[in-house]
Each structure stands twice: as structure tokens, then as C-alpha cells.
Chain A
Amino acid sequence: MRHIISILVENKFGVLSRISGLFSGRGYNIESLSVGETMESGLSVMTIVTRGDDRVVEQIIKQLRKLVNVLKVRDVVTMDHIEREMLLVKIHANGRTRPEIFNIVNTFRGKIIDLNGDSLVVEITGSKDKNMAFLNVLEPYGVIEVVRTGSVAIARGSKATSDR
């Protein structure tokens, strides 16, 4: 099963490597990992997407909680939540294909953020499925490059991972 682990960490030397090392050392796979600071300086939230059965994920969470720089760990998948990742897609576009691509981008509620004679860059956010569908539709036009952030997720309701 797919899990989204949200981890509140102290922003200190070596924290990222401790966490990623914990996954690799125990043979767990990281599907995506994204990190950003919270409102409180010195604290960050990491979002790690991983796969495993209940026992594996329970172990992951317990082992993460043991790390001295980790303040809180939650599996967001167990709650009602919203998940997004962002893609930047560079694609071949000429005078003929440009209107069609514009249409597709509009349909998927993306944004054109750069444009030149033979290519353009689209920014799009959404669930992984939506983003994959978007890429599939664009593929025939010639995708030059895709970069993606990895998922971030947040629980609905008033509780937060960054609450302590």
C-alpha cells in the first residue's frame, strides 16, 4: 500500500541523511521526498511517499520517531487528506501545435510560464494521477524535459503535523 509520511524535523546538520539513511538501511524504498520549512524557524516538514504493508509502515514510523531530531511523524494516508505534486514540463511547440497545447494546458488547469519560438514550459499541480494523465496527453507533441517536486500532503481539518 502507498503511504505518505509527514515528518516534522529540527532543521539541523545531517537530518535529511539520517532520515533517508534510515530508509535505505532498513531496505525501505522512497518513492518521493520533499522538504520545506514551516512557519516556525528551525523546523521543517518532510513528506515521504513510500510503499509497504502495515507492519513495514509501522516499523518505519517507529524508527523515525526514535531519531533525536524528529519531533512528530504521521501517516497522512490514514486521514482524510489532500495531496499535490508540482510538475514543470518543457515541450516542443511551434505555431501549428501551440493552440492545441494551450487548450490542453487550460483543460488541466496548468499555466504556461515560459514561451519561445519552438518550445514552452508548463507549470501544473495536482495528484500524481492527474499529472500522469497530463503528461500522456502531451507526449505526442514531444516532451523535452519533466521535473517534479514529489508529493506534499496535508490532512483536512484543523490538526497539523507541525502542532507540537
Chain B
Amino acid sequence: MPITGAEILVKSLQREGVDLLFGYPGGVLLGIYDTLFDADLLHILPRHEQGGIHAADGYARATGKVGVCFGTSGPGATNLVTGIANAHMDSVPLVVFTGQVPTNLIGGDAFQEADIVGITGPIVKHSYLVKDVRELADTIKEAFYIARTGRPGPVVIDLPKDVATDKTKFVWKDTVNLPGYNPNIKGHPGQIKKMLRLLEGAKKPVILTGGGVTISEANKELLRLSERVEIPVVSSFLGLGSFPGDHPNFTGWYGMHGNYASNMAMSDADFIIAIGTRFSDRSTGRLSGFAQNAKIAHIDVDPASISKNVPIEIPIVGDCKVVLKQVLDDIENYDWRKNEGPRKEWVEQTRKWNSEKPFSYDYSDKVIKPQFVVEKISELTGGNAIICTEVGQNQMWAGQFYNFKQPRQFISSGGLGTMGYGFPAAIGAKLGCPDKHVFDIAGDGSFMMNIQEICTAVQYRVGVKVAILNNRFLGMIRQWQDLFFNKRYSNSCLDCQPDFIKLADSFGCPGLRAESPADVEGVIKESLKIENKPVLLDFRVDREENVFPMVPAGAAINEMVFK
């Protein structure tokens, strides 16, 4: 029996196992929303499309499922652009539906028309404009397949109004037919042997773990490799959580605001096994000074990530988990006693670096140090909360002072650096993982960018905590102006900010304030007792605290500044 495109859409989503989606209706989506009214799907209405897509992104990162969101044609679709780019940079699987004007009006500059396939071209993994309802089911099947396989990413489906109302028979195929899309999953055995042979001869090896390890859930294999051969593990920023933060082999994260031990380990290593990471400029520092003593093996599902920024000795294209399993299957064929001595010394060296110069700050009992707040959140949640962040100083302190143990615990906009990401992402994460404590470690500047989503959290009883490290500055901008622009604080001072407590009250959610270090613990404990509604925690922190250590722009990662 023929059914409408909207009904096909709902059935297809259900076949893909979707039970939750985020969306904002609009004129061309009315047919779809009418069908959603009766559908057995939880639809979350954000207060801005950007909030919706970041929530879908946070949901996807926290659960490992594909995030789904809807926006209407024109402005609805363009409001999704930042979220699409954000997901693209950090390899987050999303299927994004945008409404489009009816097919007969496309190209005529109709009301709320925008060429969204054209606009999003460079920031999607793939996109579709569905011109015929008979293509709809296949398109949705393909979109989900593309979004979640290989290197995951966002897929856009542009849906003209008439496609949602036209009728056809619903046919759901079991397989997709994509001749141009064949992600390489298994690593080349010869390259894996080469890697193990180099590792066998290495005296100062390092494993560099990235976000790809979390995505492919290769953390257990990673742990086994590190423990079997006694290799220190350095993490990229988005790799945090892919290796237990309290493990003795863990050095920390490397890069611009990474720790001393990690940056030194990368600089001194003679062999690096990089897994699921893309050597971003924020990580590597000046390329000519990066890992000069090391040969690098790179395991990544995306062949274009290999040798893109850093020359690679041994490229291994494949899924991190599958490749690491292959490595572990082959591992006993090598003589690990040969360089056991030097490797032990090397691990000891990284531990020594870590004990000499861990992340630290000058505690004060008069003014709240932002680092202290993050440390207390880590302590009081036992390191088990999901931590989302905004972008800037708050993000760096969250990475430095929260002790991440598990994958999918740290959710942050790494590649695009999207202010306003953390709060909606936290809403998505909490909806996906209702049993976990979810914090958004926020700056007052970033939080203001999607503050309207408090409404969403209140309406759907989403119990996220927003820890605002409130310094009334765009903190990271101010830090750079402090260090490199002679303290000329051009447009970084937020002279007018709301009273976040009164604001919370007006939205119908609790707000708690800490003015001095003595208040911090109580406020966090209080927030942990509150369920089913968002809580705003306003920490009035030291206004001019800076993030250290820091690798200044243009310096090599071992040229760190500590004050």
C-alpha cells in the first residue's frame, strides 16, 4: 500500500533503530511534523537549530549511536551549518534532515529557500537532495550507513516539501549499493609486521591515542598493547578517556595546553604508534620541531589523514579496533625481552617527568581558582561523570584537571572549537545516558551563545549541571592579549553579563553560586542531589587566571611556557 514520504521517513528511522531525535519545525516540514505527532519517537524541540544539532552531536558521542536532527528550509538549515561543521571536524556520525521548498519551486528563490547541499558541501561526509519519494527509503538507509561506517561524519538529506507528501510503497532493503564507498577495515598484515619489527627495536616508544580509538571502541586492545610491551601512552585532546587517566603508563595529553610529560615524550620518542588521530596543529606545535627523533606508524581508517600533516613511516589504513586485534594476534612472534631494559627506563622517565611537572596551579583560599572547581567536580563525581565543555580556558582546564577513565566520557569541540557547543551537547549526552552525571564545564562567554537551551532542558527534565567558570572575560582571548598583546584587552571583557542565578530562576531551574573557595564543594554536592532538571552553578572565579603550561604559537611542543 502506498504511504507518504513522511511515513516512509518515520518507518526508515525506526528501522535504523532511532528512538530519539532533535528538530525544529518549519513551513516545509509541516507534513513531516504532522506524521511525527503520532510516531513512536521521542522528538526534542530545542530553542535554536544550533542547539538541536549540537545536542544530536553530544548524544552521538556519548552513546556511539548516530545522532539525528531536523531543521526547516532556509534559515533552519543555515542555522545547522555550524553543527554540521563541528561534527565533520570531530568525526561524529549524524544524519541531518533539512526541509526544502517543493521541487517545482527549487531554484526560483522561493520563500525560505537555500541551497543547503551547496552550502554544506565542504563540511559533510556526503549529502543528498531527494527529488522523488521513491528514492527516500534507500537514501535514508545509505545516509545512516555512510554516517556511521569508516571515518564517521555528518550526512545531510535535503527533503523537498512535496517529497514528504507524495506517496509510494515502502521498500526497505537489507543492503546498500555504494560502489564508490568501501572503507578499509582490516590493516595490511605486511605493514603491521613492519610496525611490530620497528617497535621491537625501539627503546623509547610511545603510543599516541586519539579520538578514533574511542569511536572504534578499541580501548581494551589499546590497554593490552600498552601493558604487554610496557609502552607509555600519550593522548590527543579528543583521545582523553580512550586510555585510563590513572594508569601508570598514561602520560597525559599533548599539545598546546598538554602536560610536560606528554610533550617531552613525543619530542624524545624514537618510535610513535599513532592510533586514530590526525595530528592537528593545536597538538603538534611547529611541525619542523615535532617528534624529530621518531619514526611514526599511523593506524587510521581515513587514508587521507595519513601523511597529511606529518610524514609517516608506516601507514596502516583500517579500523583501530580491528587493526589492534591483528597486532595483538601477532605480538607473541616478537622478542619483547630484547629492549625491555631501555623501555622500562623510558617508562620511568615519563613518570618522572609527570611527577616533576604535573598540571598545577596556585591554590588560593580567598579567590576561587577555576582549576580547583574542575578538580572538585572530578573528585566528587569519582571521575565517572560525562564532561562536556565549551571552548576556551574552561575547555583546557576540563582536559587538565578532570581524571577521565572511560571512553565517551569527554565530549568537547576539538576540531572546530565551537563556542556554545558544550551545553546543548550535554543535554544530548544526558538524554543518551540518563544514569550518568553530566556536566557542562562552561565559560560565561560560551554559555551565553546557546543559553536559550535551558528551556529545552527544563521542558524535557534533563538533569545536566552547567558549571560556569565565570570570569566575565572571554578568557582565552584575554589570555592571549595578556601574553602577546601587552594586556590590551580589546573586546574581550564581558562588561554586561546576566545574574545567572536570577536567570536560572526565570527559566524554572535551580541556580547555585560560589563566591569563595569554601563554597565550591557544597555547591557541587548540592547540584549532585538535584535530578530531572538542569542546574546552573555560577563559580565566581579568579578573573585573570591563565591556562598553563602553554606552547606559544610557532613554538615546538617541547618549548613550553609554565607561567
Contacts and interface: CB of A to CB of B under 8 A. Distances in A.
A94 interface: no
Interface string B468-495: 0000000000000000000000000000
Interface in A62-93: 62-63, 65-71
A10 B122 CA distance: 19
B129 A59 contact: no
A14 B303 contact: no
Contacts of A68: 125-126, 146, 178, 180-181
Contact of B129 (A13, A55, A70): A13
A25 interface: yes
Contacts of B178: 68
B451 interface: no
B307 A14 contact: no
Interface residues of B, number: 21
Given A14-B121, A17-B118, A62 B304 contact: yes
Given A14-B129, A68-B180, A71-B180, A55 B307 contact: yes
Contacts, number: 47
B127 interface: yes
Interface string A152-164: 0000000000001
A21 B122 CA distance: 7
A100 interface: no
B440 interface: no
Contacts of B181: 68
Contacts of B49: none
A97 B44 CA distance: 77
Contacts of A139: none
Highest count of chain A CB atoms <10 Å: which of B178, B180, B304: B180
A67 B180 contact: yes
A22 B124 CA distance: 11
Given A55-B307, A62-B304, A63-B304, A14 B117 contact: yes
Contacts of A21: 121-122
B270 interface: no
Interface string B156-189: 0000000000000000000000111100000000
Interface of A: 9-10, 13-14, 17-18, 21-22, 25, 55, 58-59, 62-63, 65-71, 164
Across the A-B interface, the 10 shortest Cβ-Cβ residue pairs: A62-B304, A25-B122, A68-B126, A71-B180, A21-B121, A68-B181, A63-B304, A70-B180, A62-B303, A69-B180
Given A14-B118, A25-B121, 13 more contacts: A13-B129, A13-B131, A14-B127, A21-B122, A25-B122, A55-B307, A58-B307, A62-B303, A63-B304, A67-B126, A68-B146, A68-B181, A70-B180
Interface of B: 117-118, 121-122, 125-129, 131, 146, 178-181, 302-304, 306-308
19 contacts: A10-B180, A13-B128, A14-B117, A14-B127, A18-B121, A25-B121, A25-B122, A58-B307, A59-B304, A62-B303, A65-B303, A65-B304, A66-B303, A67-B180, A68-B125, A68-B146, A68-B178, A68-B181, A71-B180
